[in-house]
Amino acid sequence: MFDIGANYLNKFGDVTVALFGSWMYASFVPSYNNVATANANTVTGSNLTAWRQWVVGAQFGIAGFTVGGSIGWDNNGLGNNYYTGGDNDSRKYAAAIMYETGPWQMSFGWGHVNTDNGNGARTLVSTTQGTTSALTLAGIPGTSAGYFGTNPLAGAAVFGGYAADKYEIGVNYALGPGIKLVGGGIVWNVTGPVNGTQGQSWAAMLGMDLRF
């Protein structure tokens, strides 16, 4: 595995600048284990491959404001599907802004990731305590006839990408040296092609930050 990163930090008058980038590569050596899902699945067409990632980003600050963002890509260690030719790559984006004045510090951030679905996904039949189960393949056992069928309720895969968005907001107030009142919230929204890949959630926080 190779993982390389670089940062650039500087200041031009009242403007601060930070740039960064990184790249990662991890080789993959197939196993000779005689298991259908060990390296490649001849029913679904999914397979493993070398894992690759990269990301670049920038941050700028002036007059109490700090603004930053990044963009990245990840193949998740998965190769293109044997039958559909589709990939399973993820593309990631993030941006945030923060403002500080006196004892106040306020920020807002957003993150997004979308992932291709070249291997497909199957509809969940039931979700009971501690277990989840997907529809079994229809058609002839050991073939992809059912997986690439047209009826999701009979076990056919559904294609279409996954996406997730996260929104964050935070506010801090310094009550004194080493003491801050902190508050904030997070909202998640996740979408996908089948019922098991969709959902929304949120969280709120209020507390104290003590440093001594």
Per-residue pLDDT at 61 exceeds 70: yes
Position 18 in a domain: yes
Together in a domain, 16 and 89: yes
Burial class for 165, CB neighbours closer than 10 Å (0-12, 13-18, 19+): middle
Together in a domain, 85 and 128: no
Together in a domain, 73 and 24: yes
The single-letter DSSP state of residue 80 is P
Together in a domain, 52 and 148: no
CATH of the domain at 182: 2.40.160.10
Region 152-176: mean pLDDT is: 91
Range of the domain at 180: 2-28+46-121+158-210
Together in a domain, 166 and 183: yes
Q: How many domains does the chain have?
A: 2
Distance CA 23, CA 56 (A): 9
Position 70 in a domain: yes
pLDDT given for residue 196 in this prediction: 78
| Of the candidates 120, 155, 122, the residue with the CA atom closest to the CA atom of residue 140 | 155
Region 175-194: mean pLDDT is: 94
Region 4-25: mean pLDDT is: 97
Per-residue pLDDT at 137 exceeds 50: no
The values of phi and psi at residue 195, to 5°, are -65, -30
Position 40 in a domain: no
Together in a domain, 108 and 141: no
Position 174 in a domain: yes
Distance CA 210, CA 21 (A): 33
Position 39 in a domain: no
pTM of the model: 0.83
Together in a domain, 51 and 135: no
Position 41 in a domain: no
List the structure tokens of 211: 């440093």
Together in a domain, 137 and 163: no
Together in a domain, 203 and 139: no
**41 CB contacts (<8 Å, ≥6 apart)?**
47
Together in a domain, 105 and 182: yes
Position 33 in a domain: no
pLDDT given for residue 38 in this prediction: 66
Q: Are 146 and 155 in contact (CB under 8 A)?
A: yes
pLDDT digits (tens, 9 = 90+) for 120-136: 988 876 656 655 555 44
More confident site: 30 or 99? 99
pLDDT digits (tens, 9 = 90+) for 22-58: 999 999 988 776 554 568 888 888 999 999 999 999 9
Together in a domain, 81 and 171: yes
pLDDT given for residue 139 in this prediction: 42
pLDDT given for residue 39 in this prediction: 83
Together in a domain, 15 and 62: yes
Cα separation values, 12 from 18, 60, 62, Å: 11, 11, 10
Share of the chain above pLDDT 90, in %: 66
